[in-house]
A and B are shown apart, each in its own frame.
Chain A
Amino acid sequence: MVLFAARHPGMIEIRAEETVLTTGTPPSPAAKRRAFTVDWSRIVLNVALPVLGVIFALLLGAVMLLILKANPLAAYVSLVNGAVGTTFGLTQTLVKATPLLLVGLGICIAFRANVINIGGEGQIIAGALMSTWFPLFFHTLPGWLLIPSTMIAGFLAGAFWGFIPGILKARLNVNEILSTIMLNAIALQLMNLLLQGPLMDPAGVAAHTFLAQSAQLPHQVWLPRLVPRTLLHAGAIVAVLLAAVVYLFLWRTTIGYDIRAVGLNPDAARYSGINVPTFQALSLTLAGGFAGLAGVVEVIGVQHRLLEGLTSGYGFTGIVAALLGSLHPLGLIPASILFGGLLVGADTMQRAVQVPSSLIDAILGLVVLFVSGSALWSRRWASRRRAGEQMDTEEAA
């Protein structure tokens, strides 16, 4: 099987391939030449627009703070202090960034295939449930075997939760946005059901507290801590490594190329022989897997057991992070650290200036609106570039 892109005849570089997919003409010599140079103006645009979006949203947040009679400067200073001011705050930022990065990687794959995956929450729960049951059941296995196998099992569980809407879309044309939202609700109830039944902590049952949480997981499955006396765990490193893997997958393998081709122009992809529904289902399945992994690291890295409210909205915030990172795995790393910091800082802000941390949720919503709205300018820019290339070709001829 030809897996690597270098041997794929259609693979030149994304900008050249955009020309092929959208106009059906082979890339111009100028485009080919440009394909091997770093396109700085594109990178600047992909960074500047999201950053502007965040700044604009924070400014509107400041207006809201003023209306609520709080001092915006004091609020934002306490937010920044909480997120990066102390060693513990900084590590907490990274702890929160880890599941965001993992969910966001899945979102990158799905959105690149033009599949809108809103099911992160449900997929996280699927992964978390599996990563609770698996080590409790195989508690005799040694850690070096139990940790990776728990991760794989959790990935597969999340992937299954993404596969359901994927196959429904591919085979029965069911809108994935709606089915993933419904599956979120179903997963949540499934978790409640299991936490009040088979997965409930036997200690809680014996003590008649009946807390909706599982038993503590065996110690050998706990992810090692990177900084003593903090919650920062090895899952953060795994997430960063996986970001590199997803980058290579999307830009250096034929499957990744096909996924992006499906997203860029489904009609052109179909004419060139790509089975569009299959690749959309595949991208949803992979997205589910990465979100599932986010559930795994929360369970075996942070909580060491399953509890209610474990997802903390990561499934939605992960979408914001992915959009802010321009749907690029490497842009996603700073974006998820930024949002991890916002989430941590919001709690500090709530304590310091008595502004509810829900302000940050509202600001995140605004970021999504601004960033999705600003896509117009990057599209216009891209089409101007294409027009320019056309002229290059004509001049050459």
Chain B
Amino acid sequence: MKSVFSVAVISGILNTMMGLAAPFLYAALGETITQTSGVVNLGVDGIMLLSAFAAFYAALTTGSLWIGLLAAALVGLAMGLLMSFVSVTLKAEQGVSGIGLYMFGLGMSSLLFKVLIGTVKTVQGFPPVRIPVVADIPIIGSMLFNNSIPVYGAFLLVPLVWWMLEKTTFGLKIKSVGQNPAAADSLGISVDRIRYISVCLGAVLAGIAGASLSISLLNLFQDNLTAGQGFIAVALVYFGGWNPIGVLGGALLFSVVNSFQLWVQVLGVKIPASVAVMLPYILTIAALTVTANRMRQPAALNRPFERGES
């Protein structure tokens, strides 16, 4: 049995971590945009499931991973429109409508999987792309610069979302409808339109998160493939304090624990599997406990906006 703390194993843990973090990053960064506009989308897990299936099925039938990715994004967009219609136009209780979206995605993906595919199959997912020169740096090189395209994309998304929210007029509008929709409305910003766009952007990213599971990380589809990762992604948004950099920190911390847990099992360390699987969830609760009181959430989070109501 190898020691858990040898250089090779640590490097392995870190490399696995990068791959595991990608779906969390896509989903959590998308949810950050959504929540910054004042809408909680709890249906992320359902969107991830249905998109993961769409990506897998499209890749399986057409043989193109990019068409798979596109299919996932489109399914994400469709579910984002459904969520925004119910939550923004119909002003539903968002915690409840999100659970509805989750159950729909869970049931629908399982239904389509059983009807269209039936048995567990695999696809050849996105291969790792080695970036020359920098990938040869010991330990860090292969961890950072030997990943698949969706993984690179996830990490590049962090500064991109930060820039969008902090440095663009559009980002400012998203923040304004999340902080004070009535004031934004009086300045001529269409609260509903900005929220629709934010929810849909988040849902498209959740869709890509699903695809990054089914055609990049695991390369298969099965019932309840995500096993609640979408909910953890939502938790990461709270943990990261609605800030893309904080979300990145949360995703890395969560993934390193998960990766450690996987390696511990692979190396045959005598910890019951269920205890190892439990660890990340306990960590999430602990992280929420530590951060809950320090972070300030968008003032209008979870509050539907209606003109003439304060």
Contact among B93, B228, B277 for A372, CB-based, below 8 A: B93
- State whether A362 and B274 are in contact (beta carbons under 8 Å apart), knowing that A178-B284, A182-B284, A368-B96 are contacts in the complex: no
Interface presence of A43 (CB below 8 A):
no
Interchain CA distance A336-B281 in the complex, whole Å: 31
Question: 1/0 per residue A364-375: CB within 8 Å of B?
Answer: 111111001111
Which B residues from 232 to 282 make CB contacts under 8 A with A? 232, 234-235, 238, 272, 274-275, 277-278, 281-282
A323 to B93, CA, bound (A): 11
Complex contact A365–B104 (CB within 8 A): yes
- Shortest C-beta distance, A224 to chain B (Å), equals 34
Bound CA–CA A320/B238 (angstroms): 26
Besides A189-B274, A361-B107, A361-B110, 16 other A-B contacts (C-beta < 8 A):
A68-B111, A68-B115, A174-B292, A179-B285, A181-B228, A182-B232, A182-B284, A186-B281, A196-B272, A323-B96, A356-B110, A356-B115, A359-B107, A364-B103, A365-B101, A368-B104
Residue A10 is within 8 A (CB to CB) of chain B in the complex:
no
- Give A115's nearest chain B residue, CB to CB: B95
* Chain A 128-163 interface residues, beta-carbon cutoff 8 Å to B: none
Q: Which residues of B contact A362 (CB under 8 A)?
A: 103-104, 106-108, 111
Instruction: Tell me whether B86 is interfacial, beta carbon within 8 Å.
Output: yes
Given the complex of chains A and B, what is the CA–CA distance between A369 and B93 in angstroms? 10
Is B12's beta carbon under 8 Å from chain A? Answer: no
Given A185-B228, A197-B272, decide whether A373 and B92 contact each other with a Cβ distance below 8 A.
Answer: yes
A372 / chain B contacts, CB cutoff of 8 Å: 86, 92-93, 96-97, 100
From the candidates B92, B96, B235, name the one contacting A182 in the complex (CB within 8 A): B235
A178 to B297, CA, bound (A): 15
Question: Does B76 sit within 8 A of A, measured CB to CB?
Answer: no
Contact B292 A186 (CB under 8 A): no
Check if A365 sits within 8 Å of B46, measured CB to CB. yes
Query: Do the beta carbons of B103 and A373 come within 8 Å of each other?
Result: no
Mark contacts of B70-87 with chain A using CB atoms, 8 A cut-off: 1 yes-contact digit, 0 otherwise.
000000000000100110
User: Once the chains bind, are B100 and A365 in contact (CB under 8 Å)?
Assistant: yes
Report the minimal beta-carbon distance from B292 to chain A, rounded to whole angstroms: 5
Answer whether residue A192 sits at the interface, using C-beta atoms and an 8 A cutoff: yes
Give chain B nearest CB distance to A352 CB in angstroms.
16
Q: Which residues of A contact B235 (CB under 8 A)?
A: 178, 181-182
Structural contact, B104 and A172, CB atoms closer than 8 A: no
Q: Is A118 an interface residue (CB 8 A)?
A: yes
CB A105 to nearest CB in B, in angstroms, measures 17
Least distance between B270 CB and chain A CB atoms (Å): 13
B282 near A358 (CB under 8 angstroms)? no
B3 within 8 A of A: no
Would A116 and B96 count as touching, CB distance under 8 A? yes
Select the residue from B238, B274, B289 with max chain A CB neighbours within 10 A: B274
| A-B residue pairs in contact (CB < 8 Å), sample of 11 | A168-B285, A168-B288, A174-B292, A196-B272, A197-B272, A356-B111, A361-B106, A361-B111, A367-B100, A368-B96, A368-B100
- One of B104, B234, B281 near A369 (C-beta < 8 A): B104
Say whether B303 faces chain A, with CB atoms less than 8 Å apart: no
Say whether A369 contacts B288, CB under 8 Å.
no
Task: Number of B interface residues at 8 Å Cβ cutoff, please give it.
Answer: 46
Between A68, A168, A365, the greatest number of chain B beta carbons within 10 A of the residue's beta carbon is seen for A365
Quick check: is B218 within 8 A (CB to CB) of the other chain? no
Q: How far is the CA of A185 from the CA of B278 in the complex (A)?
A: 7
Asked whether any CB of chain A lies closer than 8 Å to the CB of B202, the reply is no
Q: Is the CB of A178 within 8 A of B103?
A: no
B272: chain A residues within 8 A (beta carbon):
193, 196-197
Contact partners of A118 in chain B: CB under 8 A: 99
Out of A168, A185, A193, A320, name the residue touching B275 (CB < 8 Å). A193
Q: How far apart are A332's CB and chain B's nearest CB, in angstroms?
A: 16
Q: In A328-366, which residues have CB < 8 Å from any B CB?
A: 355-356, 358-366
A166 to B58 CA separation, bound complex (whole angstroms)? 43
Bound form: Cα–Cα A368–B93 in Å: 11
Q: Which A residues touch B85, using CB under 8 A?
A: 373
Distance to closest chain A CB from B51 (angstroms)? 15
Decide yes or no whether B42 CB sits under 8 A from chain A. yes
Query: How many Å from the CB of A111 to the closest CB on chain B?
Result: 8
Query: Contact: B111 with A359, CB < 8 Å?
Result: yes
A369 touches B110 (CB 8 A): no
B90 interface hit (Cβ, 8 Å): yes
A186–B278 touching, CB < 8 Å: yes
> At the interface, yes or no: A190 with Cβ under 8 Å from chain B?
yes
Q: Determine the residue in chain B with the shortest Cβ distance to A195.
A: B274
Query: Is residue B114 contacting chain A, with contact meaning CB distance below 8 A?
Result: yes
**Which residues on the A side are within 8 Å of B115 (C-beta)?**
68, 355-356
Cα A218 to Cα B289 with chains together (Å):
41
Q: Counting CB contacts under 8 A, is B6 at the interface?
A: no
Select from chain B the residue with minimum beta-carbon distance to A350: B114
Q: Which chain A residue lies CB-closest to B295?
A: A173
Complex CA gap A323/B277 in Å reads 32
Contact of B289 among A68, A174, A192 (CB under 8 A): A174
